[in-house]
Amino acid sequence: MTTLPDIKPITSDIHPAIEDMIDMPELLPNDQLPPFEGDRVIQYREALREAMSEEMRRDKRVFLLGEEVAEYNGAYKVSQGMLDEFGPERIIDTPISENGFAGMSIAAAMSGLRPIVEFMSWSFSFVAADPILNNAPKMLYMSGGQFGCPIVFRGNDGAGGQLASTHSWCVEALYANVPGLKMAIPSNPYDAKGLLKTAIRDPDPVFFLESERMLGDRAHVPEEEYYIPFGQARLAREGDAITLVSFGRPVNFCLQAAEKLAEEGIEVDVLDMRTIRPLDIDSIIERVKITNKILVVDQSWPFASIASEVVTQICERCFDWLDAPPARLNTVDVPTPYAKDLEYDYLPNPDRIYEAVKQQVGAQ
Amino acid sequence: MTQAPAQSSKASDMTDKSDYDHTPPTTEQKLEWLRVMQLIREFENRTMQAYQQAKIGGFCHIYTGQEACAVGTIGSVNHDDPVVTAYRDHGHALARGMTPEACMAEMFGKIHGCAKGKGGSMHMFDKPNWLFGGHGIVGAQTPLGAGLAFAEKYKLEVLGEGKKKVTLCYLGDGAIDQGAFHEALNYVSVHNIPVIFIIENNGYSMGTAIHRHTANADNLISRGQSYGIDSIEIDGLDIVDLYNEFKPFAERCRETSRPGFVDLKTYRYQGHSMSDPQKYRTKDEVDTYKEKDSIARLLSQLIESGDFSEDDWKALQKDIKAQVKAAMDFAENSPAPEANELYTDVYANPEKNLSPTTEYNHGLNNPLL
Ligand SMILES: Cc1ncc(C[n+]2csc(CCOP(=O)(O)OP(=O)(O)O)c2C)c(N)n1
Ligand SMILES: [Mg+2]
């Protein structure tokens, strides 16, 4: 009779395929993170750089690779000075060969390194769609739990700089559909640092969505090291009329609209999701139970969007708490135009949010 | 169907080109080239100004320095030979015959622009002039170039219409590192597709010098040759030499239905785009190339041969200034697209329920059609 060897169940939280499972930092709830407000004001791009540099100082396996990241100091100056500090072995310029360098980095991650791959824009990641979608998120599964893929893909996402149709992609809805990957999308410098540090430490592939439009935004960023847990939203503004749920740059549009609404006596919630996958649906439900109304503001196109997903989950999980049909406001369902005014109309801009809230608040 | 030799080398290219038209250019041709090159230069000067004044937005890549490339190669083929290029496309558009008005209005994001203000600087399309676009994704236009040539060949061989054509597909030295380009090269060689890939080799992929971004950088034509494609290196700063080399090469591709590969050596005077501090190169280097300026070179040849005078040159410059000024006024005065244009040109057949939020329609017809 055949004797089958014993196979032991996995008891650790983090899969043993990732050898350095103890590498995960302590992840704290919002009220134990350093204060969001303060006077150490730096740019969003500097916050990203600080996150990468801190992690690279800590762990030699971490490296940064992409177009113009080294000698040019970054097409958008995110990696400025990093070549000087870490040298050309760890800050690596690539040819314009996204498919090649994304695939190569994935194998480096399987082999125990911790690559950060910069896409000058997520719009260029489609050239690398096969490795980033077919290899990275499926490696652990396809190898039956032998190979993990701890890698960060990061770059600019979204429209707003008159870059027209091919260069203005919001990839969140397309890519978030794929199981096996995680997706973070910071709306401000504080989150940019705290989320990117977590992304680098995370044992799974993380798609990290920045915005060229926000790189120059300035806000308080703690000097100390901190890690923002994935799947932990932040209530950026508290109200009672309706809960606005958003992520990435449109969070700021929501806050602008909220100011104007407040002048009219309409106080709204603004919930910054921070990560799309995992999605902190519990925090949304908690707020919807108070405001009884929800508007999801999403810079992807409406059809099968992140907003569609949030609305579905809300209907599934707290339908009875709603006083009005759940609503979504997306980017207009057309390719991105170049002309300035058309592009403004196309985005889920503060004016459109204001109108949508007025409609929802009026609806019973 | 003609089967061209699978092997090619620099030497063999030189030997059999005599089979094809290689009459040197006429004075008329040269004068026309001078006019178009100067038009591009003046146009780009105004483009930079307008960008500084925020009348143009987005990414904007200036063609100054490379004028002889577009003008000389497009000047070697027929008006109905297809052309496709990358995002540094103003020069190709003007050389193809797009009016400076349509080109500038596009960058101003206006309704009289070649793409109704929807495309901007990187997306110059001109159907009547057989220009199938500027394309923003590096390398994306190379399979398209193959496809344009495929279609013309198909029309002739299967539909029995049209004529023998050759397609020009431009790309930068940075784009040769893209996988799509290698797939296109392999395909067109195996299938005998008459497309010429013209590498406008300005030595830089954004801020990365060619030796740092591509292997075997001093021998780019070996890439084409390794796919069995006739491949030549041409000095892209002397338009007369360029024409004398390129014209018979293009004719041969057309007649034999074979692809071609050209390493066209050139230089860009301005930064990669409008936001480039250019720390990767010295002013000396830029000045060295400016001394070899292609417009100045052609001008002095024409003056030496007595076909053109200093006064003629002054008059030409003045005419072109006025022409481009008129284009600026045109762009300024053309209205921005109406809000409804957001919903137009999305579907050729805008049926019901294509979108949960949006009703599509047909707006204004393209001004070029
Ligand atoms: C797939 C892709 N990756 C990156 C970019 C960003 N990008 C635009 S142009 C460019 C450099 C291209 O250089 P080259 O092909 O030599 O053309 P040149 O600009 O010199 O004309 C880069 C990296 C892009 N547009 N598309
Ligand atoms: Mg180049």
Amino acid at B88: R
Amino acid at A295: L
- 3-state SS class at B16: helix
Residue of B nearest to A331 (CA): B357
Domain range A41-220, CATH class: alpha beta
| Distance separating alpha carbons of residues B218 and B225, to the nearest angstrom | 14
| Distance separating alpha carbons of residues B194 and A313, to the nearest angstrom | 54
Q: What's the average model confidence in pLDDT over A80-95?
A: 98
Amino acid at A221: V
| Cβ partners under 8 Å of residue B149, min gap 6 | B82, B165, B166, B167, B188, B193, B194, B195, B259
Contact B57 A97 (CB under 8 A): no
Find chain A residues with C-beta within 8 A of B358's C-beta: 332-334
Q: What's the average model confidence in pLDDT over A2-19?
A: 91
| Cβ partners under 8 Å of residue B323, min gap 6 | B39, B42, B100
Instruction: Quickly list H helices, chain B.
Output: 10-16, 27-52, 67-74, 90-96, 100-107, 141-157, 179-190, 210-213, 221-226, 239-256, 283-290, 294-304, 310-333
At the topology level, CATH places domain A234-362 in: Rossmann fold (3.40.50)
CB B264 within 8 A of CB B28: no
Contact A333 B139 (CB under 8 A): no
Short-list B48, B187, B174, CA closest to B121: B48
Q: Other C-beta atoms within 10 Å of B187: how many?
A: 17
Place of tokens 């075997």: B216
Q: Which two tokens stand for residue A337?
A: 């135009």
Q: Which two tokens stand for residue B125?
A: 């399309």
| Distance separating alpha carbons of residues A246 and A139, to the nearest angstrom | 30
Residue A21: predicted pLDDT = 56
Find chain A residues with C-beta within 8 A of B115's C-beta: 338
Nearest CA to ligand 1 atom 5: B138
| Distance separating alpha carbons of residues A292 and A315, to the nearest angstrom | 12
Q: For residue A57, what is the enclosing H or E element?
A: helix A44-58
| Distance separating alpha carbons of residues B239 and B69, to the nearest angstrom | 7
Short-list A206, A152, A203, CA closest to A15: A203
Residue A131: predicted pLDDT = 98
Q: Which two tokens stand for residue B196?
A: 């010429």
Residue A186: predicted pLDDT = 98
Residue A98 among the catalytic residues? yes
Residue B18: predicted pLDDT = 54
Place of tokens 């000097």: A223
| Distance separating alpha carbons of residues B123 and A356, to the nearest angstrom | 34
Mean pLDDT (10-residue bins), chain B, 369 residues: 42 50 91 98 98 98 98 98 98 98 98 98 98 98 98 98 97 98 98 98 98 97 98 98 97 98 98 94 97 98 97 98 98 98 98 96 97
Domain range B7-207+215-330, CATH class: alpha beta
Short-list A265, A343, A281, CA closest to A314: A281
Instruction: Enter the ipTM.
Output: 0.95
Ligand nearest to the CA of A155: 1
| Cβ partners under 8 Å of residue B71, min gap 6 | B33, B36, B37, B40, B91, B95, B239
Average pLDDT across chain A, whole number: 97
Model confidence, pTM: 0.96
Amino acid at B282: T
Residue B345: predicted pLDDT = 98
Q: How far is the CA of A351 from the centre of ligand 2 (A)?
A: 41
Domain ranges of chain B: 7-207+215-330, 338-369
Q: How far is the CA of B67 from the centre of ligand 2 (A)?
A: 14
Residue A362: predicted pLDDT = 86
Residue A167 among the catalytic residues? yes
| Cβ partners under 8 Å of residue B217, min gap 6 | B210, B211
Short-list B32, B35, B131, B146, CA closest to B79: B131
| Distance separating alpha carbons of residues A244 and A287, to the nearest angstrom | 10
Radius of gyration of chain A from Cα atoms? Answer: 21
Q: How far is the CA of B86 from the centre of ligand 1 (A)?
A: 9
Amino acid at B343: Y
| Distance separating alpha carbons of residues A320 and A297, to the nearest angstrom | 22
Q: Which two tokens stand for residue B143?
A: 């399979």
Among residues A50, A118, A167, A343, the one annotated as catalytic is A167
Residue B14: predicted pLDDT = 42
> Would an 8 Å CB–CB cutoff place B82 in contact with chain A?
no
Rounded to the nearest angstrom, the minimum Cα separation between B136 and chain A is: 7
> Considering only residues 10 to 69 of chain A, which have any Cβ-Cβ distance to chain B shorter than 8 Å?
67-68
Q: Other C-beta atoms within 10 Å of A361: how many?
A: 18
Ligand nearest to the CA of B138: 1
Short-list B174, B131, B133, CA closest to B280: B174
Find chain B residues with C-beta within 8 A of A337's C-beta: 117-118, 337, 341-342
Query: CB-side exposure of B291: number of CA atoms within 13 Å?
Result: 5
User: Measured from the CA of B139, which atom of ligand 1 is nearest?
Assistant: 1
Domain ranges of chain A: 41-220, 234-362
Q: What is the pLDDT of residues A112-168, one digit of tens each?
A: 999 999 999 999 999 999 999 999 999 999 999 999 999 999 999 999 999 999 999
Radius of gyration of chain B from Cα atoms? Answer: 21
| Residue B78 to residues B1, B91, B151, B257, B303, Cα–Cα distance (Å) | 22, 17, 17, 16, 28
Amino acid at B252: R
